[in-house]
Structure 1
Amino acid sequence: MRLLLRHHFAKPHTRTTVLRRLSAEPHPSPPPLPPSSTTSSTIPQILSLIQNTDPNDWPTNPELPTLLSSLSPLSHLKLARQLPTSQNALQLFHHVKSTVPQPDATSSLSFIFQAVFEHALREHSDSASKLYELFVLSKDEKIPVTINAATLLIKRFGQARMVQEFVQVFDALDPDLRNTHVVNLLIDALLKSGRIDDALKLLDEMLKSDTGYPPNNNTVDIVFTALLKRGWGGRCVNEEEIYKLVLNFSEHGIVVNSFWLTQIITKFCRSGQCDKAWDLLHELTSLGGDVETASCNALLTGLGREHNFVKMNLLMEEMKEKGIPPNVVTFGILINHLCKFYRVDQALEAFEKMKDGDFRIEPDVVLYNTLIDGLCKVGRQEEGLKLMERMRLESKCKPNTITYNCLIDGFCKAGEIERGHELFELMNKDGVESNVVTLNTLLDGMCRHGRVSRAVELFSEMQEKGLKANVITYTILITSFCSANNISKAIKLFDEMLECGLSPDALVYNSLISGLSQAGRMDDASIIVSKMKEAGFYLDVLSYNILISGFCRKNKMDKVSETLKDMEHAGLKPDRVTYNTVISYFCSKGDFAHAHRAMKKMISDGLVPNVVTYGALIHAYCVVGKIEDAMKIFRDMSSSSKVSPNTVIYNMLIDSLCKNGKEEVALSLMDDMKDRGG
C-alpha cells in the first residue's frame, strides 16, 4: 500500500478541507493504562523533579533516569500530556531518547511525540505549519507516529488543505496501524481537492476483500457528498461510475441509505438516465436493500418528466407488493404529472384510489389544488368547483388562495367573468386572502373579454385595500388600453408604473410602441424605443415592422431607412412583412422603380413574394391606369412565381379592365377566377 500511495500521490502540493461530519466519527482511543502500583505516585514525582530542575541538569540527576525507565509507554504519554508546553514535552522526548536504551524506548518516544503534537495543536494559531515542522522532526528522529498522532495530523492538515502533507503522514504510518477512519480522512481530502482518480483508486483498495480497512457508512457519506455535489471542482463522474460504486458498496454489505439512494436516483433522472435509475433501484431491492418511499418518489418524478406513465403505474404496484408505503407526496407526483399532460380522468382515478382504496391516505391542500387546476386547464371548471366543495366537507384542509386562483382563472379563461367575480367575492367572504395573482387573473379575464372599464375599477378597489400591483398587472392593463387605442391612458399607467419603482418588461414596451405607432404618434413611439434600449431590451422583428409601418404612414422615409439600418445593426433581417410594407408604400406613391428594387432585394434575401406583395403592385398599376403592367405582374404571379391570386386581385383587375374598355379580357378573367374556385 505504501508504494501504491507514493506512486499515486507524486503530484504538486495541493490543499483541502476535511468533511464536517468526520468530526463525529470517533477517534481510536488508547487502551486504558495497565494497573500499576507505582504509576500514580511516580508521575507526580517525575513532574516535580522536571519542573524544579533545569533541563540541562536532567542527565546528572540520579533519580530521573530510574523513574522514567519504570514507566510504561502509555504512562510516558500521560506524563508528557501534563507538561505545560510542547517545548517541555520535546525536552522530555530528547532526554528519554538519550537515556533510555533502544529499542525499548521506541514506543515511549512515539507516545511522547504524540503529546508534543497535542500541545502544539493547542498553542499555535497557525498550528498546521508548526505540526508539519514537528512531523518532519519526528521523521528525522526516525520516530514512528502513533495512530492517534497520525489522526490528529491528518485532520489538521486536511482542515488547512495541506493534502500532500496529509499523504506524507499516511505514508509514514505503519501499515498495520492504518484503519478505516484514517483512510476515510484521506479519501475526503483527495475528493475535496479535486483529485478524484486518486481517491477512487484508494477506495478500490478499501473494497478489496483482504484489506485491513474496509469501507463503512462514513466512507459512503464522504464519497457521495463529493460526487453528488453540484459545481464541485473535480472531474465529472458519470452515472455508470456511480452505479458501479453503489453496487460495490453493496457487495461489502454496505447498502447506501435512503438519503443517498434518493440523491443518486434524482441525479440519474435529471441527466435523462431514468432507465439506469430504475435498474439501480431494482438491483438494490434484489440485494436486500431497504428501499424507502423517498427513493421511489424520486424515480416517479423522473418517470413523470419523461411521460412514462406505464412505468409510473408499475412502480406504484411494486411499492404495494414490496410493502413500501406510498405517501401523499407519492400520489402528488403521480397526479401532478397526469394533470400536466391533461390525463385528468386518470388523475381522478388515482385520487379516489388514494382515499378509498388500500392506502387511505388523506390528501393535502397541494394535492386538491393540483387536481382543481388540472380540471380547470381542460375546461372542466365546474367539476373543479365541486371538488373544492368536497374539500370543504370531507377533508381536514380548507381551500386557500391558490385554490380560488385556479378556479377564478378557469372561469375567466372560459369567458365566464361573472362566475370568476362571484368566486372572488366568496373568497373574501370566507376570509381567504386574495393576492396579486388573484387580481391579475381577474384583470386579464376582464380585459380579454372587452371589460376594460370594469378591470380598471377593480384595479382601483384593490389598490385602495392595500394590494400592490406588479409588472404583470400593469402589462395587462397597458396592453389592453393600447389594443383599444386609448394611448393616453396607457401612457398614464406606464408613468405610474415607473413611479411605483416597477421595471417594465419587453411586452409593455412593445405594446406601447405598437399603440403609439397605430395612433400615428411616431415621435412618442421613438421615445419609448429609446427607453426600451436604455432598460436593456431589444426590439424584435415585429416591433421593427410596426415602427416601419408607422413611419411609412407618416411619409417619413428617412426614418424608415434609419430603422432598417438599426434593425441590421441589431442582427435582425427584414422579413416578408417588412418588405411588403415598404413595397406597398412605394406603390401608394406611384414610385414603381423603388417598389421593384425593393422586391428584387426581397428575393435576393431568400424571401418569396406572396399574394400581398403582388397585390400591392397590381393595385398601384391599376390606380394609375397602367393595366398592361398590372396584367404582366398578374401573369408572372400565376406562372413563374406560382402564387395563386386571391379574389381581391381578380376584382381589382376586372374592375380596371372594364373601366379601360377591355370587357373581353375581363370576362376571360372571370372564367379563370371561377375555374380556380374564386
Structure 2
Amino acid sequence: MAPPQAISPTLQTSFLCSLALAFLRAGRLSSASHIVSSLPAYPPAPLLRRLIPALASAGLTAAAVRFRPVPGDTLTLNSIILSYCSLRLLRPALNLLRASAKPPWQAVDAVSYTIFLSGLSEQGHGELAPAVLAEMSKRGVPFDGVTVNTVLVGLCRRGRVDEAASFAEMLVRGRAIDSLDVAGWNALIDGYCKVQDMATALAVVERMRTEGVEVDVVGHNSLVAGFCRAGEVDAAWGIVETMKADGVQPNVVTYTAFIAEYCRRKEIEEAFSLYEEMVKTGVLPDVVTLSALVDGLGRDGRFSEAYALFREMEKIGAVPNHVTYCTLIDSLVKAQRGKESLALFGEMVSRGVVMDLVTHTALMDWFGKEGKIDQVNTMFQHALSDNLTPNCVTYTVLIDAHCKTGDVDRAEQVLLHMEEKSVNPNVVTFSAIINGLVKRGWLTKAAEYMKKMQEKGIAPNVVTYGALIDGCFKYQGQEAALDVYDDMLRRGVEVNSFVVDSLVNGLIKNGKMEEAEALFQDMSRRGMFLDHVNYTTLIDGLFKTGNMPAAFKVGQELMERNLLPDAAVYNVFINCLCMLGKFKEAKSFLTEMRNSGLKPDQATYNTMIAAQCREGKTSKALKLFDEMKWRSIQPNLITYTTLVAGLLKAGTMEKAKYLLDEMASSGFTPTSLTHRRLLQACSESRRVDVILEIHEWMMNAGLHADIIVYNTLVHVLCCHGMTRKATVILDEMSRRGMAPDTITFNAVILGHCKSSHLDNAFAMYAQMLHQGLSPNIATLNTLLGGLESAGRIEEADTVLSEMKNVGLEPNSLTYDILVSGFAKKSNKVEAVRLYCEMVSKGFVPKVSTYNALISDFAKAGMMSQAKELFNEMQMRGVLPTSCTYNILVNGWSKLRNGTEVRILLKDMKGRQFNPSKDTLNFISRAFSKPGMKREAQRLLKAFFKV
C-alpha cells in the first residue's frame, strides 16, 4: 500500500483560510483569530481577497494588518487601511496608502483616501485633512462628495468650523465640486452647534433653504442637540416644532438629545417621562438613549437603579457599548466606589469593549486617591498600549498621584515627559506639583514652579495660592503665609472658602485663635459664602483651645444660616469632646445625630475608637469596633490602623496581630501612613523588639516599599539610638536601587546625636554632602541639638556658618536650641543676645527655652531678671509649666523672700500645679524655725498632697 501523500502547503493554507472564514461567520472570533495566527505571512492572493475584508468587518483588525495587500486589489488594500485606522495606527496607514499609489501596486481609489481621512477625523487630526486631499488630487485620484464631507467633518471636530466653511466655499468656486450635498451642510451645522455658535448654525440652515436643499432629520437633530447643550431647551423644542412643520418626524436621536440634557441637569423624572413618551410614539430607544439615562442616574447618586438599567439593556436589544461602560465607571469612580468600577473594567476587557481615555484617566484618578501608585502607572501604560494619546488631564492625574505618595521627583519627570510630547501643562498640573512640593516642605522649589508657570502665561489660581498659604503656615510661619495671601489679593485672585480654610486653619495651628475668629467673621460680614468645612474648622479650633461656649455658638450660627449640620459637623463636636475626655457628652451627640436622621459614618466611629485608644482603654475601643460592624458600617483602613496602633501602644501584641490579619483578609493594603502610625505605636510602647517584625508583616501584606516607608523605619530605629540596625536598612535600600534622601540622612544624624555619637553624626553629614544632597534646616538643627545635649554648644558657630553657606536662615527651633544651650552653660550674655535676636525676628520662644533662661538667672540669684522673663513669657502667650514655678519658688526661697514665694504658690494652686519634693525641701529649709524643718516638710506635703 502506497504511503499517504503529504498535503501541499497551498492546500493546507486554503483549508485554514476556509476554516477561519467559517469561524468568522459563526461569530467565533477567538477561534478565527487563533487560526489566522498560524497562517503564513503571504497566503495566495485569492484567499486574501476573501479573508482580509472578513477580518476587518469582524473587528479583528490586529489580525488583518498581519498581511500585505494583493497588488492591484483595492478591496484588500482598503480593508487593511481601515484596520490600521481602527487600531489608531495612522502612520502605517499613510505609508501603505502612499506605497500603494505607486507601481506595481496602483490600487488606490477615492475610498482608500476617504477611509484614511475618516481615521484622521476620528482621532482628532482633522486639520491635516486638506493636505491629504491635495495629495489625492495631485496623484490624479478623483474625489467625490463623500471625500469632501469627510474633510469637513474632520475640521469641524477640531473646532475649526469657519475653516471648514471657507474650504467648502473654495471647492465650489474652484468647481472641484458642483455644490455641497445635504451631508456636507449637516457637517457645518453640527460643527457650529458644537462650538455653540447657534446663530451661524441657523444662518447655514437658511442658506441651505435658499439653495434648494431641504434640511433633513440629521440637520434638525444637530440644532436640537446644540440648543440643549447651550441650556436653551425651549429653543430646542422650537426646532422640533419646525421639524414637524417641514414634515420631518423626530427620531430616537432627537429624543435622546433632550433626555441627555435633562439628565445633565439631574432632572431625572423629566428624562424618564420623555423616555416613556418616546416609546409610546413607537420610537424605540438605542444604546445612546439608555447610556444617557444610566449616566443621569449615576450623576444623581442612584447607582443601584443605574446598574439595574445597565443590566436590562441587553435584554431589550441595546448592548452596552464603550460609552455606557465608561459613563458608569466614571460615575462610580467619582462616588468613591472604585471596587465596583474595577469589576466593570474587568468585564469590559473580557468582552473586548474598547476603553476610552476618559475612563483610563478616571480609574487612574481613583487609584491615585487610594495611594495605589503601581496601579496608576499600570493603567497609564494600558492606555498607551491601546494607542491612546494621553492629554493634559491624564498627565495631571499621573503627576498628582506621584505627589500624593510623596514621590515629587517622579512627578517632575512626568512633567518633563509631558512637555517633550508637546502636551502643555495647565494651572491644575502646576498646582499638583506645587502642592506636592509644599507637603514635603520644599517651599523654595514650589516658589520656583510658581514663577515658571507665570513665565508660561499661566496665572496661579485659588488652589495654587491655597496650597502655598497652607505650606507657609506649616514651614515658614504666619508672616510668610500672609505675604502669599497679600500677593494673591494684589493679583486679583478671588478668595474662596478653600483659602479661608487655609488661613483660619493656619492661624489656629499657630496659636492665633482670636485672629482666626476675626478673619472668619470678617469674611462672613463681606457676604462670602462660608461652607460646612469653614465652620467645622473654626468649631474644631475653638474646642481645642477649650472655648466650648464659643464653639457651640458657631454651631448655632451654622444652623441659623440654614447650613444644617451634616455628619462632618457632628463628627467635629464628637471628636473635640473626645479630645477633652468628655466621652459621655460625645455619646449624647452620637444619639442626637441619629435622632436628626443622620447616619454615623466611619469617621464618627473612628473618632470615638481613637479617643478610647488615646486613653489606653482598648477594651472599650474594641466594643465600639464590634458595634460599628453590627450597625453595618464597614471598618476602613483608618479604623484598623487606629485600633492596631492602640493595641500595640498598650502592649497587647497578640490582639494587634489578630486585627492585622483581619485587616489583610478584608482586602486592605497598608499604606505609608499605616506603616508610620504602627511603628510609632511600637516605639511609644517601648516594644522596640517588634518594630522590625511589624515592618516585615506590612511588607508581606503588600506595602509599597518606597522612600517614605524606609525613612519612617530608619527614623523610628534612630529615635531609639538603634543606628546599627538603621545602617542595615540603608544597605537594604541600596540593594533595592533606592538612594537615601535628605530625610533619611536627617534620621541617621538624629540617631547618632541621641546616642551621643556626635563625631558619627558629623561624619554622616559629610557623607550626605558628598552624595550631592542639600541639607535643610532640620539637618542643621539636629546637629545643633546634638551639641546642646552634649554640653558643647560653644561649637555652634561651625554649624551656624554652615547654615549661612548653604543659604538657610535660623528658624524658631534654631534659636530655642541656642538660647537653651548657652543658658545651661551659664553664658548669660550670649543667651540674652540670642533671645533678643529671636524675639526681634518675630519668633516666640518655647516654654522650655524660658525655663532654661529663668533657671540660669535664678541660680545666680538674679531673681528680678528671672521675674521679668516670667512676666514677659506670659505676655507672649507662653503659659508657664509646673517646672517654671518650681524654678522661681526655689530661687526666691534661696533669697528667703516669703512674699514672692507665697504669691507663686497661690498662683500654682490656682493652675492646679503642685510643687515638687525638692521645692518643698527648699521652702522648709528656708522658712522653718530651728528644729522644725521635718514638721514644716510634712505640713507642706500634706497641704499640696505631694
Q: Which has the higher contact order (CA 8 A, sep 6+)?
A: 1
TMscore range, shorter length = 0.3 to 0.5
TM-score by length of 2: 0.35
Could you say which structure has the larger radius of gyration? 1
